[in-house]
Amino acid sequence: MDEQQAKQRVEELHDLLNEYNFAYFVKDDPLVPDSEYDARLKELEELEREYPSLKTMDSPSQRVGGIVLDAFNKVQHKTPMLSLGNAFNEEDLRDFDRRVRGQVGDNVAYVCELKIDGLAVNLRYENGSFQRGATRGDGETGEDITENLRTIRSLPLRLREPVSLEVRGEAFMPQRSFKALNEAKIERGEEPFANPRNAAAGSLRQLDTKMAASRNLDIFIYSIADLGELDVATQADGLDYLDNLGFKTNGNRVRCASIDDVISYVNEWMEKRASLPYDIDGIVIKVDSLVQQEELGTTVKSPRWAIAYKFPAEEVVTRLIEIELNVGRTGAVTPIALLEPVQVAGTTVQRASLHNEDLIKERDIRIGDRVIVKKAGDIIPEVVGVVESERTGEEQPFSMPTHCPECGSELVHLDEEVALRCLNPKCPAQLREGLIHFVSRHAMNIEGLGEKVITQLFHEQLIADVADLYRLTKDQLTSLERMGEKSAQNLLEAIESSKSNSLERLLFGLGIRHVGSKAARLLAEEFKTMSALQSATIEQLVSVREIGKKMAEAIVLYFDNEEVQTLLEELSSLGVNLTYTGSNRATVEDSDSFFSGKTVVLTGKLEHFTRQEAKDAIEDRGGQVTGSVSKKTDLLVAGAEAGSKLDKAESYGVTIWDEERLKEELQK
């Protein structure tokens, strides 16, 4: 076979394999046995090896991954990816309908589509060939995840027509893929993903595309972002056109002639959602006519012609087996409910924060109770009540201990805090949590030193404080479970590299009470050296912009501690930089932070942070913390005894986190 004949055969195999892919992964109706598909794919790969010039980026052979990326580049969206306004009940839907008809008249129809719980993506095709895919990001700018998207079998690399267009879709992880992934992670001793949405997002942000390919993701395309010269008049026609091009759209959509029909569709799927092989968290309702969509226009954040109906938080009943205590980095002791495993909103829940003793008493929660569990905003597991009618009399009331469960030190209340705290600086739990914080992304940023490795090192008594990290040897690391020589060497290099970090990272990593990463940078800029900061008075500290008396007192108290002074001397002798270089300031406020450009509200009583610490940490990462919830709020962090702000956030469909979720994000 000469090159011309090979080229012709490669084109034939492209068409054949694309058709097989479409039938199998989009239509769920295989045309040939797997062995036939594998044989044709092998033939294609052999021809591409023999004639490398015939290997193209839209070849069916390019779905297995194999590229290792350095990072994800930023992508500016040609058309902004707006978020949707939310509806939570029938009245909200009727209000939406009244607003629409008030602007475009009564002759209006809607298209209802299932709201897939995954990751929104934007795809660009040129002359029918897939060129680039990106995440939503902040709506204006996303991340280029093209290579990982190529691994999704239901995403066409070449369309049936040579058109150029941008489309939007939702990449997701089917439940069978999620189950298999978590079973494998558990078998390896790793923490399973909390839900398919997180698993899908994590898979598409893998730098190793083979890892993304192994996750078996799927995708539904739901709109054309840039119509260009396309002759499409309605949303329904647009979806049909996408079908004809070879895209996978969701077949459960329906065109509704009235808002009553919309409400019937919503109620139908509220009952049927559990029967689907993937997760949905609501219904998207769009005005069908594209002319009417243009007439209705958009706000800064969302289109006026569409709304997302969010399913109400699912409540289930399970048994409270035990209450365990978690000691955090700052010594706060938090009670955690251990539950009989139960499915809530698509994920298995076994643990839920009980916040503090006051909440437990207020809700009269007892060990052995049948309790009601829900996820606030479909995210946070929470014990919201007790089924008193099922009590047997054997349930046990719970009381917080008087002494730390980790070290035995007496627990105290500081100021007017609800939380009990352990003040022992040698408390093992605090030391372990402090080490995890020290190596985290916005502190010393030691890649490869995650929570599991720190916990192993701590339990093996290889480290007791942060200075011990800089004494680790290759032999010590390779003695750990699942730590090979290459991983150990990479980790040692990362630890060595962290020695040159600028002072603000070390200050933040030390975990001084009330000092977030922003305050650490301001202090480093002002005092330049650790020595100068150590000798600073309260008066000198409060003269620094944004440093208040409470923070200044905490700093002076911290540096007065002889153990701290010894630790700093050890770090210096080990070669850790103690001066401000200004060299990595940008990484503290990097724009790829989750919080960048987001409006955040804090409510309730926080256990692990003071309100100011949480505010500083969020603002350091590009977020804005405000005092009230509005439709412009992006995130609400709810501590114990969260009240009306939580209710308002739920009514607006604002993303809701508990303090543990905030802590996880701040440690990335």
Backbone dihedral region of 199: left (phi > 0), alpha (psi from -120 to 50 degrees) or beta?
alpha
Sheet holding 306-310, edge to edge: 85-87, 306-310, 280-287, 110-116, 254-256
Beta bridge partners of 640: 605
| SS3 letters across 321-388 | EEEEEEECCCCEEEEEEEEEEEEECCEEEEEEECCCHHHHHHCCCEECCEEEEEEECCCEEEEEEECH
Q: Which of 115, 375, 598, 645 is catalytic?
A: 115
Tell me if 133 sits within 8 A of 149, measured CB to CB.
yes
**What are the start-end ranges of the H helices in 273-337?**
290-296
For the chain, how big is the Rg over CA atoms in Å?
Answer: 28
Tell me if 336 sits within 8 A of 349, measured CB to CB.
no
Beta bridge partners of 372: 317, 385
Residues in the chain: 668
Q: Is 115 a catalytic residue?
A: yes
For 89, the 3-state DSSP assignment is: coil
The gap from C-alpha 554 to its chain's centroid, in whole angstroms, comes to: 32
Phi then psi dihedrals of residue 363, to 5 deg: -95, 0
- Write the DSSP symbol of residue 275: G
User: Cα separation of 619 and 174, whole Å?
Assistant: 36
Q: Measuring CA to CA, which residue among 441, 431, 511, 525 is closest to residue 469?
A: 431
CA dihedral 138, 141, 142, 143 (to 10 degrees): -140
Long-range contacts of 16-19 (CB under 8 A, 24+ apart): 16/40, 17/41, 17/44, 17/60, 18/60, 18/156, 18/157, 18/158, 18/246
User: Cα separation of 125 and 129, whole Å?
Assistant: 5
Tell me if 442 sits within 8 A of 589, measured CB to CB.
no
What burial letters (b/e) apply to 523-555, b meaning 16+ CB within 10 Å? bbbbbeebeebbebeeebbeebeebeeebbebb
For 10, the 3-state DSSP assignment is: helix
Residue partners of 210: CB distance under 8 A and separation at least 6: 64, 65, 66
User: Cα separation of 145 and 160, whole Å?
Assistant: 23
Q: What single-letter amino acid sits at 501?
A: N
And the tokens for 231?
Answer: 């002759």
| Number of Cα atoms under 13 Å in the Cβ half of residue 283 | 32
And the tokens for 413?
Answer: 């209340």
Burial class for 180, CB neighbours closer than 10 Å (0-12, 13-18, 19+):
middle
Please state at what angle helix 428-438 crosses helix 503-510, rounded to 10 degrees. Answer: 160
Q: What angle do CA 347, 175, 221 make, to 5 degrees?
A: 115
Active-site residue list: 115
